[in-house]
Amino acid sequence: MVAGCDQTKIVKLKFERFIAYRILQKDRKNFSRPVVSISVIAVALGIAIMLIAVSVVTGFQETVTDKITGFTSHIRVMSYDNNRSWEIRPVSKDQSFVHELKDDEGIRHIQVYGLKAGIMKHDDQILGTILKGVGSDHRGEFMSANIIKGYIPEYYDSTTSNEIVISDYHARKLRLDTGMKVLMYFIQDPPRYRPFTIAGIYNTGMEEMDKRFVICDIRQIQKLNDWTKDQVAGFEIFLNNFDDLDKYTAKVYENTGFDLKVENTKTLHPQIMDWLNMLNTNVYIILALMLIVSAITMVSTLLILILEKTNMIGIMKAMGSKNISIRKIFLYNAAYIIGKGILWGNIFGIGLLLIQQLTGAVSLDESTYYMATAPVNINLVHILLINIGTICVCVLFMIVPSLLITRISPVNAIRFE
């Protein structure tokens, strides 16, 4: 008896799918045919636009965040001083929180730094800059990725290097190149100057940073400020995951003394962080609009299919077909349209993203957007969520128009033309 029931269900399933196939594939002269094609295109465009919007915006946020944190770190620890200038009170290199946190899995690296304001002069040109001193513990992955000429010198605790790395902005303004010498003047009592040799030229695309900073040996800053070898301006802490920023900011704060101040990227660069967060709103609006358009398109298509096949629905009811069986036929049609649209939307959207990722075909104004080409972040989780979300929304919208079948009378439907 159970086996007979299962066979009946299989026959019904095959029958419903067969009718659905005939409606979409064989009735090519019907009015619904171009409507189905338009629906597939609408769903495909909706999926493609959502994929591109999410990938570009998240890629943009990730790239800008990486550039900011790569240059200034995720968390910065310095002396608790009301002085807002670049001349800050030094702190000792030997801090207990460094030993406590350096082996933490969430922390990638901790390094010291120093800052000194100065004026760079070459021939008759001058330019105000900030010397950023780094030591032997400096990890130069970020700077190495943004070097456009020359190299990043290695600094050692035993010797003082006069090699520096300037930005492309400095090089253009002062007409400098690698291997050339430049003088740096420091306004202090007594005034001082230092000759430096340009080892490399970098360009991060972050004009705010590039205009300011010159990378040098931290021992130069210690000598200029009359600091000891154990005194630095502060510590830069790099995390493995930006999402852990608030968590580790609180953790670092708990482990530092009362005389140290803890700041993170959000507090150091609030305008940029607020700008990046505002982009999420744009993505949500695009996603909502595309989902609504896709859902409304599918509802309209299903209603047209039902209206066109009213006579067929009446005949099937007169022959004993149940409402749920007829509804399944049209829901299969809708599933086919949605599936085909999603397939082509993924091919089109991901294809364009891959082209941009490999070729950088779409360029940007680097002075405005901090990068020369539009970045993309092809994330499998985002792709799956967009596809699943589209399917769920469209299916939910399909249930209501399919209920129209239950209100169709067999007698009136057979007479319907």
- Alpha carbon 306 to chain centroid, angstroms: 43
Give the type of residue at 156. Answer: Y
Question: 111 has which bridge partners?
Answer: 236
Q: What's the token pair of residue 307?
A: 């209206």
User: Collapsing DSSP states into helix, strand and coil, what is residue 126?
Assistant: strand
Q: What is the pLDDT of residue 11?
A: 46
d(CA 119, CA 193): 9
d(CA 204, CA 167): 8
Q: Which residues of 392-409 are buried (b: 16+ CB within 10 A; e: fewer)?
A: ebbeebbeebbebbeebe
Q: Would the pTM of this model clear 0.75, i.e. be above it?
A: yes
Q: What is the pLDDT of residue 82?
A: 62
User: Collapsing DSSP states into helix, strand and coil, what is residue 234?
Assistant: strand
Q: What is the pLDDT of residue 51?
A: 94
Q: What is the pLDDT of residue 406?
A: 65
Give the type of residue at 362. Answer: V
- Of 17, 8, 11, 12, the C-alpha closest to 329 is 17
Tens digits of pLDDT across the chain (417 residues) = 444 444 444 444 566 777 776 666 655 555 567 777 888 888 999 999 999 999 999 999 898 888 888 888 999 998 887 666 667 888 888 888 888 888 888 999 999 999 999 999 988 889 999 999 999 888 888 888 899 999 999 898 888 999 999 999 999 999 999 999 999 999 887 888 899 999 999 998 888 888 989 999 999 999 998 899 999 999 999 999 998 999 999 999 888 878 889 999 998 888 888 888 888 888 899 889 888 888 888 888 877 777 777 777 777 777 777 777 777 777 787 888 888 899 999 999 999 999 999 998 888 887 777 888 889 999 999 999 999 999 888 888 877 777 776 666 665 555 555
- Total number of residues shown for the chain: 417
- Of 26, 11, 9, the C-alpha closest to 333 is 26
- Alpha carbon 386 to chain centroid, angstroms: 15
Give the type of residue at 122. Answer: H
What is the rounded (10 degree) CA torsion for 290, 293, 294, 300?
180
